[in-house]
Every structure is written in C-alpha cells, then in structure tokens.
Structure 1
Amino acid sequence: MSRNIANLTLSKSLPKAVDVVVVGLVTINKDETAAVGVTADLDKAYAAAYGRSVMAMAKAVGASPAADNVTTLPALKDTRVLVVGLEDADVTPERLRRATGNALRTVIGMEGAAGWQVAVSLEASDPELVQATAEGALLGAYRFEKLSETQDAAPVAGITVITGATTTVQKDALAAAAATSTAVCQARDWTNTPPNLLYPATFAEAAKAHLRDARVTVEILDEKALEKAGYGGILAVGGGSARAPRLVRLSYAPRGATRHLALVGKGITFDSGGLDIKPAGQMAGMKCDMSGAAAVIAAIRAIADLGLKVKVTAYAAMAENMPSGSSYRASDVLTMFDGQTVENFNTDAEGRLVMADAIGRAAQDSPDLIVDVATLTGACMVALGMRTAGLMTNGDVTTDRLLDAAEAADEDFWELPITEHTRTLIKSSVADMRSGSGQRWGGAVVAGAFLERFVPEGIEWAHLDIAGPAESEEAYGYVPKGAPAWGSGR
C-alpha cells in the first residue's frame, strides 16, 4: 500500500498556474464581513472578468463567514475560487484546519478534479497557523484509493500555502504538517483496507515496509515466537483463524532522550466475535478494529520523522478473531504474558486480551508512560457517542497530560472513572481475574479496570477507548467518511 500525499509548498504569492484558489471570509465589527487572503492580482482578474471585486462577488452569490461554509465563485478561465467561512477575524488553528479541510473536500468532489494544483490563501503567517492550514488541506484532500484494475489520478497533486513570511519557522511548521498528515493518512489507509487484504501477517509486513527508511527498529513475532514467549492472550484470540497472529515491536531511541513513552495498539484485523459471534449487521465495520495499531505505528513514524527527543517503544498486537474448532471459549482460563491468569467471559471481548499481553510486554521496557489505543468497547460508544473517545488513567497528572494532547490534536476525549467497586467486578473464583463482569452496566470502565491489572505499580498509564470515533459515517471538516485515524494525531 502506498499513500499518495499531495506535494506541499510555501509561497508569498499565488502560483501562476493554479486550478483552485481558497480564500476566506470573516466577521468584523459584529455584523460586517471582510475577505481574507484575496490578493491584488486576484481582485484585478475578477474586476476584469466580472466588473466587481472578489468580496463583491462573494456577497452576490451568498458566501458566508459561518463555520463549515464553502462557496464556489464563478471561475476565472480555468481557475476556480472557493470562499470558506472563518467566523470572526481572531482565527484559531483548529478553525483554520477545519475550514481548509472543508475546502479541500469540496475540491476533490469537483467534476474533473485530477492532479489539480490548489493554493490556500488565508493570511497565515504565525507558524502554528501555517501548520494548521497545511494539515487541514492535506487531510481534507485525503481519498482512499479505490481497489480497481484502473487507478484514477489523485484529485489534488499539489497544495501551496500562501503566507506573509517564508522564514525557517514557517518552513519548519510546513514540514511538521507534512509529517503528521502523512502519518494520519497512512493510518486511514490501513484502517480502510479490506480484511482479506490486511490481516496479521500482511499488516506486520506493511508496518515494516512503512518504517524501512525511518530511524525505527522493527521486530515481528510470529505465532512460534509468541508461543515460546507465552503470549497467551494473543494466541487465544488468534487461534480460531487460519491467519496466525503477530506482535510487532517498534523502537525509536534518539540520542539525548531522557523520557520513555510506550504506545500499545489493538490490531484486530477482523472481529467476527469468535464463538460468541456478532449479529450480521454489526460485523461489516469490524475491519476498523485494528485502528489502534494503525495509529501507534503511524505515530512512531511521525515522531521519528520530526526528530522528537523522546524514546518511544510501540507494540501492535495483531490477530483475527474467528470462530472455528480451534477457537478459544468462554470460561477458558488463559495464562497471559506476565504470568497472570484470566478466566475468559466472552470471546467477543477479545481486544482486552491482546492488549493485556502487549501492555505486560511494554511494562518490561520500564517506560515512564504507557498509552494504549483501542477500539475496545461498544459500551464506550453508548456512553460518549461517535465523536468522543473515552480516557482512563491511573493518575490525575497523566489525565491532564493526555487531555492537553487531545486538545492540541482536536480529538475529543472524556475521562471515565475506574472505581474500587469496578475493580471488584472482575474477580474470579478460578483464576487471578475475569476478563469481564458479566453485566451490561459500565462495560467500558470494566475493560479499563482489567487492563489496569497489567500495569505495574510506578508506571503512568492511560487507556484510550476510541470505539466510537474510529469510523465516521459522514465526512466533516478534514475528517473523511470511513476512517479518521483517531489517536494518530489527526
């Protein structure tokens, strides 16, 4: 699989050859509107072609500064002009990101869009605003490449961000946008790939290929290595499938790093529910059950590309949960990687088992913080909906750190509590613990309480349940229909 990201450049002026120009509209003085990013040359061209300025034309066709508003103006020969709503003049990075995302989603939906050059002129000069503009454009231009014997050209080949300054700080901001957006789009690609093409072995090899030219070491444990090392959870979940499980370990260790972050991602490439099989209507979206693994693999590549001074070890636990004569069962007792035993309560609660093994292995690296990312429970979707993910941690400092990071990435998370009562619900009379409570209530926090048992004392830990936002039924802002790649820094 390859990711066809548009070429990204920075310029103080509009390119001579451009297919689409994106400008903005803001509210000033409460009820007045003003154009943003309209160059003198663009105004002159509109005056020559239509006898009025861009602003006058925008008013004539009903353009609005409201959020999510995108208006197409009459074209100038072969150049199309889009006006996006930026609300008030005090724009924020996220407002720019969403506006440019909306604009580029409009562009890729235009008839004849193929290899187009797009200029985004929204007067962004502050590095943070330059980065946000570029990220919104790149992510909005994303399209999963259709699986066909004939491949259409990408709708957008190049994006130029027009800025008042092109110094080192703006160029660095553009490079950061390219790194993070490329990572997000790769995670989207993996998550959107059908499960007959992306299964544990091919996913592991795709991760290895993706990191081949990065400063990241890759280790892939196959079923024999997993059995030898005692990964009872991963082996149980993957045991019912003809496609054997994998555990991918990735390491980035820059010179001078003083902190160590461990990332753990759930990589269930397809979840049928196992012997506790899902209803047919709930199975179609289960190719997205590996989006946590996609997020951590993509994230470590972006971290390495950006040269961040933090040691990162990532684990992607990959398995296919299928029913067969070799499937694990409800009431089986499993011996996990760290030696603890688990009474399994439901084969459709497979994610916590592979995650527990991977968290136990990550703990052996003695990181300062473990962050696990998983489409773990339908209960979290019931509690928080489809655009908000659940957060559980073992400390207030960790909670604050993760919520700050989520805000910077514009990902909505809500903290859920793991109470002492919740911890009692996973007691077992035949093993060290049970993998679930057997009750309908509080399923997301019960799963969190289970994972917490595999985090040694003294290590900070955060659990991200991204079951709701991992797949979007509609496109909005810079989020496409399908996989948004939640948790990868989108």
Structure 2
Amino acid sequence: MPAPILPPLTTASSVPARVDVLIVGVTGTKDAPTVVGCPPEVEKATAKALGSSLAEAARAVGADPAVGSTAVLLGAKGRRLLLVGLGEDVPTPDVLRRASGAAVRAAGSLATADGGLQVGLALDATEPEAAQAIAEGAILGSYTYQPISSAEVAAPKVAALTLLTGGGKQVAAAATTGATVARAVARAREWVNVPPNLLYPETFADEAREWARDAKITVDVLDEKALAKGGYGGLLAVGGGSSRLPRLVRFSYAPRGAKTHIVLVGKGITFDSGGLNIKPGDSMYTMKCDMAGAAAVLAATRAVADLNLPVKVTTYAAMAENLPSDTAYRPSDVLTIYGGKTVENANSDAEGRLVLADALARSLEDKPDVIIDVATLTGACVVALGEETAGVLSNDDDLVEQVLAAADAAGELLWQLPIPATAKAKLASKVADVKSSGSRMGGALFAAAFLREFVGEHSWAHLDIAGPAFRSEGADGHQGPGGTGAAVGTLVALAQSLAK
C-alpha cells in the first residue's frame, strides 16, 4: 500500500520567488480586519498592484478573522495572497495549527488540473511552539486519502510548502519537528482509511514492518503459531472467527543514554463486526477504524525514533479481525490471557480489551517505567465526552497530569474519567479470575478497570479514543474526513517530556 502523498516543508527567512500562493493571517474584526505576517515587500507590491492598502483590499474581499476562514487576493506578478483567520486575539499554537491546515486546503483548491502549487506560509512563526504548530497544520491540511479507482491518480495539488520563520535555528528545528509529527499522524490516518479487505492483521503487520524499515527500530511479529505457543489467549479468541488470523507486532526503539522506558500498547482490530454479539449494520460501517489505537502507537514510535529522542520505547500492536463463524469465541467462554490470568468473556463485541490484555501482560516483562495503551475501546466514552474528546483513565494521577499536558501541547482534547472503587466487585467472576465487562452504565470506566488487572503496580494510563479517532463529517481546520490520527501527537509530546 502506498504511503500518503505529502508535500515537503522547508523554512526560509524571505519569500522565495517560486511561491505561487502566500498565506498570511487576519486578526481584528470582520468590519476592520488586520492583516498580519505579510512581509513588507510583499505588502508594498500587493498594495501597488491593487491600488489600495492591504487592509482595504482584505475588507473588500470579505476577509474574516474567524479561525480558518479564508479569502483570496490577486497580488503582484500573478501571486495570490490567501488570507486566513487567526481569531481576534493573539493566536495560540492550536489556533495556528487549525488555521494553517484550513489555509493549505484552501490553497489546494486554487490549483489547476496539473496541481503542483508552491505554497508559502507567513504566519508570524517567530517562536518554536508556533512554528511547530504551523508546520503540523500545513502538512495535515494537505493530506487526502486517494480513492481506490481505475482512474489515473491526480497530481498533488500542493507540491511544496515553505514556512517563513524569523527566530533562527531553534524555530527552524521546531518546524522540522512539526513536519515529523505531521507525517506520523498522516501515516496513522492512512492506515485507518484503508478498506478492511486490504488492511487485515497480516497486511497491517507487513505495513508496520515497512514503516519501521529505515528507522532505528527493531521489529518482531508473532503469527498465529507463535501466539498459540506463547499463550496469547485473548488475541487467539478474538481473531479465531476469521480466516485472517491475528498478529502481535512489537517495535523496540532503544537509544543509548535513555533513562526512561515507555511501553505503548494499541488496539488493532482491523474490522469489528461484533462477533457473535453482532453489531447493527449501520454501526458496522466505520469499524475499519477499530485499529486506530494500533495505528497511533506504531506511527508515534517512528516519530520518536526520527526525532532521536533519548527515551526507550517498546510498542505492542495487537491485531485481529473480529468476525462471527463456527470458530468464533462465545459469550461465557473462559480465556487464558498471556501470563495465565483467566477471563470470563461477557460479550464478544467487547473484544478490544481482550487483545489489549495479552499485550499489556506481555509488556510487563519489558520492565517499563510507564505504560500507555490507546484504543477505540467503548461507545460509552463517546456518549460521555462526545466525538472530539478522548478519555484518559489511570492508576497514577501524576501520569494523568503529564498526559493531559502532552495533549494540550499537541492540540488534542483529553479528559480524565475515574475508575470507580466498585469496579473490582463488578468484574468478579464465578468461573474465572475476572470477567471482561462490569456494567453497561459507565462502560468506559469498567473497561479501564478490566485493563488495570493486567498492568500490575506499574504506572499506567488508558486513552479511549473512540470518539476522535474517526471523523464522519467534512474537513475542519487541519482535520479531514476519515481517520484523524488521534493520540499520535499526544504520545510524541509525552515522550518529549519524559525524555527531559
């Protein structure tokens, strides 16, 4: 499967002559917009070509400071100025990320059939945080999933991006970091968007191996025979109803001098029909996205390696396809998870926690300092927090604070949910060590309580990304329809903070 087509991003201190579209910011009010970031020489030439000040021209074309709003001016020598709203106040990194994404998408709409636009961004990237956010948003705004079609693949609308910076090497380095993170997010998006008849456990594992090929990452893949030999009862049960058998992918990034060891675990259900507890048809349509947690941890690990962060990362992606058949696992089955703990299965549509349990239990042998799992785990979390906010549940409040800070830096919405004191009693089983589900009410909380059974005394946090992992609506800011790459930015930001 081809990698997503993304434009290269470079930095410059002045506008290159080859730039076709230059993106500048708009603040103030709609009645009195103020253009910001435009280089003086460009502003002067544009004003001369238009016969009016840039502010007057902006008002004439309806430039709006609402974040992500766009308008276009034809400047000197045929170059177009694309005005993007940055809000009424000083823009935050998150505003810059969303605005640059919307602006680059709008710039792409100006391309001819041949594509190939050279786009510059003059959005006052004088601080590292701003430069990183603009770079991330610009690249992600250019991402689109190429349909599977007999038609010829269209040329990319945006061929290259140039970010104007004024803060020296540190700011330029931050832009490079932003580009690295954005490419990882786009890789996760692409995996989520691939149809499930093409991306299933075996091919997903192959994709993961290819993704790590040029990085300082060691890759191990356990097939169904190795899983059976190792006693991975959760993966084997969940994947047993499909002819496309499960895989467990392990990434290891172990740089010299690393003082902190992070384990990342991702749910990789490449399609979730619900198994014998089959889902309604409408609920099944987007279930190719049920591997978004695995996509996130694999993509983030590559970004950490590319950034040469001095932190050790061991990553597990638990991959299975959950289908009904005569070999499918059943409600009331007792499964033996890696390491020996037994689980009474309550519902075959609560499969993600079972594959995660195998991976979490295995990860303890790596002796990590911190464990983070990421999963599109429960509809209950979406009911509680909506479609844009992920939940975080943990046995360590200090770790939660670190995760929340990382999410804030990455521009992702995350909210802490509790694990009730009553959870252990509700997960009690009469036929096994633990039951897989506790209560329909508060389902996200009891799912996390179940996972907690497999992390021992280790510092652990669970990210339930069921809401934000997939976007059914149209584009907004740097987000397009389909897979979003949720949690990738948070995981990289967390690794950066733990590497200090």
Distance in structure 2 (CA, Å) of the matches to 1:79 and 1:354: 54
Report the equivalent of 1:263: 264
* Corresponding position: 1:158 with 2:160: yes
> Partner of 1:251: helix, strand, or coil?
strand
Distance in structure 2 (CA, Å) of the matches to 1:303 and 1:448: 26
Question: How many residue pairs were aligned?
Answer: 486
> Partner of 2:482: helix, strand, or coil?
coil
Report the equivalent of 1:112: 112
CA apart distance, 1:308: 0.6
User: Does structure 1 conserve the Cα–Cα contact (< 8 Å) formed by 2:93 and 2:134?
Assistant: yes
Report the equivalent of 2:84: 84
* Corresponding position: 1:323 with 2:324: yes
Q: Is 478-487 or 86-95 further displaced after alignment?
A: 86-95
| CA separation of 1:253 and 1:102: change in aligned 2, threshold 3 A | same
> Partner of 1:489: helix, strand, or coil?
helix
* Corresponding position: 1:224 with 2:225: yes
User: Does structure 2 conserve the Cα–Cα contact (< 8 Å) formed by 1:38 and 1:54?
Assistant: no
Report the equivalent of 2:466: 467
> Partner of 2:403: helix, strand, or coil?
helix
Measured against aligned partners, the alpha-carbon deviations of 1:227-283 in whole angstroms (never above 9, x if no partner) come to 000000000000000101000000000000011000000000000111111100111
> Partner of 1:424: helix, strand, or coil?
helix
Measured against aligned partners, the alpha-carbon deviations of 1:18-69 in whole angstroms (never above 9, x if no partner) come to 22110111229x9954211222332333234321132211011221222232
User: Does structure 1 conserve the Cα–Cα contact (< 8 Å) formed by 2:272 and 2:288?
Assistant: yes
Runs (4+) off by over 3 Å: 30-33, 74-78
Distance in structure 2 (CA, Å) of the matches to 1:238 and 1:184: 27
User: Does structure 1 conserve the Cα–Cα contact (< 8 Å) formed by 2:68 and 2:100?
Assistant: no
Report the equivalent of 1:233: 234
Gaps of 5+ in 1: none
Alignment identity in percent?
Answer: 53
User: Does structure 2 conserve the Cα–Cα contact (< 8 Å) formed by 1:72 and 1:83?
Assistant: yes
Report the equivalent of 1:477: 477
User: Does structure 1 conserve the Cα–Cα contact (< 8 Å) formed by 2:32 and 2:59?
Assistant: no
Measured against aligned partners, the alpha-carbon deviations of 1:92-132 in whole angstroms (never above 9, x if no partner) come to 21111111111112223345261211000112111221111
User: Does structure 2 conserve the Cα–Cα contact (< 8 Å) formed by 1:292 and 1:373?
Assistant: yes
Report the equivalent of 1:352: 353
Q: Normalising by structure 1, report the TM-score.
A: 0.96
Corresponding letter in the other structure for 2:199:
L
Distance in structure 1 (CA, Å) of the matches to 2:380 and 2:110: 39
Measured against aligned partners, the alpha-carbon deviations of 1:191-226 in whole angstroms (never above 9, x if no partner) come to 100001100000001110111010000000000000
* Corresponding position: 1:144 with 2:107: no
> Partner of 2:472: helix, strand, or coil?
coil
Distance in structure 2 (CA, Å) of the matches to 1:401 and 1:194: 35
User: Does structure 2 conserve the Cα–Cα contact (< 8 Å) formed by 1:42 and 1:54?
Assistant: no
> Partner of 2:338: helix, strand, or coil?
coil
User: Does structure 1 conserve the Cα–Cα contact (< 8 Å) formed by 2:9 and 2:160?
Assistant: yes
**1:52-451 paired onto structure 2 within 5 Å:** 52-74=52-74, 76=76, 78-88=78-88, 90-110=90-110, 112=112, 114-149=115-150, 150-165=152-167, 167-437=168-438, 439-451=439-451
Q: Normalising by structure 2, report the TM-score.
A: 0.94
Distance in structure 1 (CA, Å) of the matches to 2:166 and 2:135: 15
CA apart distance, 1:298: 0.4
Gaps of 5+ in 2: 491-500
Measured against aligned partners, the alpha-carbon deviations of 1:158-191 in whole angstroms (never above 9, x if no partner) come to 00011224x3212211221121111001001001
Corresponding letter in the other structure for 1:314:
T
Report the equivalent of 1:34: 34
User: Does structure 1 conserve the Cα–Cα contact (< 8 Å) formed by 2:4 and 2:143?
Assistant: no
